[in-house]
Structure 1
Amino acid sequence: MESCVKIINEWDIVAARQLGRNVAKEIGFGTVDQARITTAISELARNIYLYTEKGLIEIEQVQNNGKKGLCVIAKDTGPGIENIRKVMEDGFSTSGGLGAGLPGVKRLMDEFTITSSSDDGTKVKAIKWLR
């Protein structure tokens, strides 16, 4: 099962959050982990909205060695992130925000990878495993 939401305007952020919460609930995540997942999705979708022309959030159920989880993939066609190490520092912000975005997503989820280039944009993959 995979679903995606195109991120073009602010309402798409809400739609992505809602989709993530629904899928998390279907998988069996409790309310605390549902909140963690939706917060992570919100941050990723907001980054797409703020820094790129367009992108999408994909949400899928994943399994590994009998474990169930939820995978969030955020992809955009923006200019890419010049210095990934810098944006992963707590407190770093280019928008005047708190700078909790990507480091916060990494803390909220169990697995986190990011790739970025000026040619292909940015892709973030984050997984939360059901305990």
Structure 2
Amino acid sequence: MTARSDGPEELPINGDDDVVRVRQLVRAYAQRVKLSLVDQTKLVTAASELARNTLIYGGGGFARVEEIHDGRRAGVRASFHDEGPGIPDVTLALADGWSSGQGLGLGLSGARRLADEFDLDTEPGRGTVVTVVKWKR
């Protein structure tokens, strides 16, 4: 799998306006690789949830968005990085309906369902990186 030669774009996530900018950037990449409207919506929804989690639970951080290719198809990879407290119980955090805050508990589990690929790298005291990929069908 390769990224575009112009490399990934990074945006800070330090406030609500940044969450909006991340959504807009992810949508632009999804349109660039010609994802269907349904897949664009899925990816943008997942990115919005993950950007909000980065802000609320991670205390802010950044998003990295890039176009990727696997030799057969194009896709978009979006990763969300924070240096927050980390997630002590990943199994619980990925369970539908569970929330550590006031939310509906659909952030991580919802993002996982909406993406073609999902990766969660976290450890208490080290922060969290969540990566999602959506491939063109």
**Shorter-normalised TM-score: what interval?**
over 0.9
SS at match of 1:65: coil
Aligned to 2:3: none
Structure 2 counterparts to residues 1-131 of structure 1, below 5 A: 1-131=7-137
Post-superposition shift, 1:68? 0.8
Q: Deviations over 1:60-119 (max 9, x none)?
A: 111113221100111100010000000000000111211111010011000111010134
Supply the distance in 2 between the matched residues of 1:95 and 1:36 (Cα, whole angstroms).
23
Three-state SS of the structure 2 residue aligned to 1:62 is strand
Q: Any idea what SS the aligned residue of 1:128 has?
A: strand
Runs of 5+ consecutive residues of structure 2 not aligned to the other structure:
1-6
Task: Decide which moves more: 117-126 or 67-76.
Answer: 117-126
Flag as ranges the 4+ runs of structure 1 deviating above 3 A: none
Moved more, 105-114 or 30-39: 30-39
Task: Report the Cα distance in structure 2 between the residues aligned to 1:100 and 1:53, rounded to whole angstroms.
Answer: 19
| Residue 8 of structure 1, CA deviation | 0.2
Instruction: Please tell me whether the aligned partners of residues 58 and 128 of structure 2 are also in contact (alpha carbons under 8 angstroms).
Output: no
User: How many residue pairs were aligned?
Assistant: 131
Unpaired runs of 5+ residues, structure 1, are none
Q: What TM-score results when the alignment is normalised by the length of structure 2?
A: 0.91
Verify the 8 A CA contact 2:120 2:129 in the aligned structure 1: yes
Counterparts of 1:114 and 1:27, CA distance in 2:
24
Q: How far has the Cα of 1:31 moved from its partner?
A: 1.5
